[in-house]
Structure 1
Amino acid sequence: MQRSLKWFASATTLAMLFVLIGGALVTKTGSGMGCGRSWPLCHGQFIPSQITPELVIELSHRLVSGLAGIMVLVLSVWTWRAIGHIRETKFLAIVSFVFLVLQGLIGAAAVVWGQSDFVLALHFGISLISFAAVFLLTLLIFEIDKKFDAESLVLDRKMKFHIYGVITYSYIVVYTGALVRHMQASLACPSWPICAKARIMPVQLHEWVQMGHRLAAALIIVWISVATIQAVKYYKQQRVVYWGWIISLILVLLQMITGALIVLTQLNLYIALAHAFFISCLFGVLSYLMMLALRSNHHQQQVKETNEPTKSVPSILLK
């Protein structure tokens, strides 16, 4: 049973990644209206009479999202029954399914009634929360084997600040990136890292949106770098935190590189999809670090209430 659950959870996580990448593909190719103002059917038909590339992309995304929704529902019920005794399980099970349904409703509303770019930009972020919840459920399942040291972590205040702050700020970065896509502002600034060779500052709305996203992305790179340095210096013995930040730094650098290449290659589709893939993976890793930080808080509170001695930690972590 446990092995089957692991396989299914891994498959569901992969399916959610396809949902995220598929949504980015729909936006990048302008296929959002590939099925017209009809949902869930295409042009009001079960089998569309006129097949276009945009229709295929949009319909495929709907089918993948529908299949992922069924898988997430099954995973939520399965994990609730199998590992419901683990503190985070029930909350993540609810969040994973509710947010997936919510993103589907926003997508449907956009097709039927239309939405502003600022509202549509929320679509990717909501899907990202559902993906992160599924990803965390999968990690909880694999933690049953006790191959991680996630149960006995002790984090200092500075590290907790980095974890909570970076994941919150990363969501802002995700939103600005989605806004760039939906406003079709990806090439508003044809140079990189400055807006244009002749001038540094943007002068119109699309340029401000593009440069705002670049600035937000630059700040998160700096922040993750600082947190990674702290993890490397003080958390070598706590592998999950140590490697979590190193992987986060690698992913955010890959995100920066693909973001620059999107501009330099004039919107190469594969690079754009890789850009969405890296931010999805980064948010998943940061979500796991946040769960560990919350778990550490709970563990320390239990120790305080029972007057048990805390785990020996380096003195630098207690400052």
Structure 2
Amino acid sequence: MRALKWFSVLTTIGMLFILLGGALVTKTDSGMGCGQSWPLCNGQLIPDEISSELVIELAHRVVSGSVGIMVIILSIAAWKSIGHIRETKFLAVNSIFFLVLQGLIGAAAVVWGQSDFVLAVHFGISLISFSTVLLLTFLIFEVDKKFEAEKLILDKRMQKHIIGVTIYSFIVVYTGALVRHVNASLVCKDWPLCSNDQITLPTNMYEWIQMGHRAAAGLIFIWIGYITFLAIKNYRHQKVMYWGWIIAFILVFLQVIAGAFIIYLRGNLFVALFHAFFISCLFGLLSYFLLFCYRSSIHSNKKKPSNPLSSTL
């Protein structure tokens, strides 16, 4: 089990590298670095002409392929080792499914090309793929029973907030990916408004996309802040929820700050990658909270009397 834990951590880190690699490819316009050839690069195993775009795209493909093999191995090993845990088989199957799906979308974009609005979905699919692997890793570590994550009971209000903010976070992710794909990152020169000198509505599609993403990010910041307040108030003795939401708020705060610095530093590449890193970690954490909601509903149903008359006897 110890070896499986280490392997799951390495696989999860590898999935993060895939996410950041995809963001790097988009940010540096390296998507066509290998031409319209996939999985080979310009129709060759080892290309004759080397460019920075080719290196970035080819490296992303190599990492994705290598980590993909690791995901398959992890899914099979988890199925065999902890398949008795209710969520394991579902996550194992979906980790492979979404991994293949994101690879096919990436390949289709290279060979046939896609609109920016379709390509923006690719990052969201990659996030779901990362989250399934992350949840598998959490399940593997939960086997030790060192914390009461498995028996955590959430009230209905918290469950609704978790489901709502997780679904909404995917919208925020999509708008952020769309900003990158349409090259609208620096269309607004100021922050938080497009122009701090005067308050005006966006004047073109690129400004609407940029300001729409900022508005969506501002709302999720407020929403997660409120849920964190509820967690601190009502779940102080349940460390997974208490510290989990504090970490979530820190991540969304860093996400907002990184977004602002992208503007101030005029699209600095490292800041942009940190921007993608923070939202990836946040989405993974929200997915873990979704798992709590599922478990909580299962436990609640088990506690309900099977006979409606039994409660009155």
Match of 1:211 in 2: 211
Match of 2:168 in 1: 169
Give the paired residue count.
306
Distance in 1 of aligned mates of 2:17 and 2:53: 17
Point out where structure 2 has 5 or more consecutive residues left out of the alignment. Answer: 308-313
Question: Partner amino acid for 1:296?
Answer: S
Question: Partner amino acid for 1:269?
Answer: L
Q: 1:221-232 alignment to 2 at 5 Å?
A: 221-232=221-232
Match of 1:121 in 2: 120
Distance in 2 of aligned mates of 1:151 and 1:39: 43
- CA-to-aligned-CA distance 1:278-317 (integer Å, 9 cap, x gap): 000000111101101110110111121469xxxxxxxxxx
Distance in 2 of aligned mates of 1:305 and 1:240: 29
Q: Which runs of 4+ in 1 moved over 4 A?
A: none
- CA-to-aligned-CA distance 1:137-167 (integer Å, 9 cap, x gap): 0000000000111122121111111111110
- CA-to-aligned-CA distance 1:199-224 (integer Å, 9 cap, x gap): 43211000000000000000000000
Question: Partner amino acid for 2:267?
Answer: L
Q: 1:180-195 alignment to 2 at 5 Å?
A: 180-195=179-194
- CA-to-aligned-CA distance 1:36-59 (integer Å, 9 cap, x gap): 011111110111000000000000
Distance in 2 of aligned mates of 1:16 and 1:281: 11
Match of 2:39 in 1: 40
Match of 1:16 in 2: 15
Distance in 2 of aligned mates of 1:150 and 1:306: 26
Distance in 2 of aligned mates of 1:85 and 1:32: 42
TM-score calculated relative to the size of structure 2: 0.96
Match of 2:259 in 1: 259
TM-score calculated relative to the size of structure 1: 0.94
Question: Partner amino acid for 1:263?
Answer: I
Distance in 2 of aligned mates of 1:232 and 1:7: 32
The alignment's C-alpha RMSD in Å is 1.0
Match of 2:247 in 1: 247
Distance in 2 of aligned mates of 1:18 and 1:151: 29
Distance in 2 of aligned mates of 1:156 and 1:74: 37
Moved more, 148-157 or 109-118: 148-157
Distance in 2 of aligned mates of 1:48 and 1:78: 36
Match of 1:56 in 2: 55
* Percent of aligned pairs sharing the same letter: 64
SS in 1 for 2:233: helix
SS in 2 for 1:150: coil
SS in 2 for 1:151: coil
SS in 2 for 1:136: helix
Distance in 2 of aligned mates of 1:298 and 1:98: 25
Distance in 1 of aligned mates of 2:294 and 2:305: 17
Match of 2:298 in 1: 298
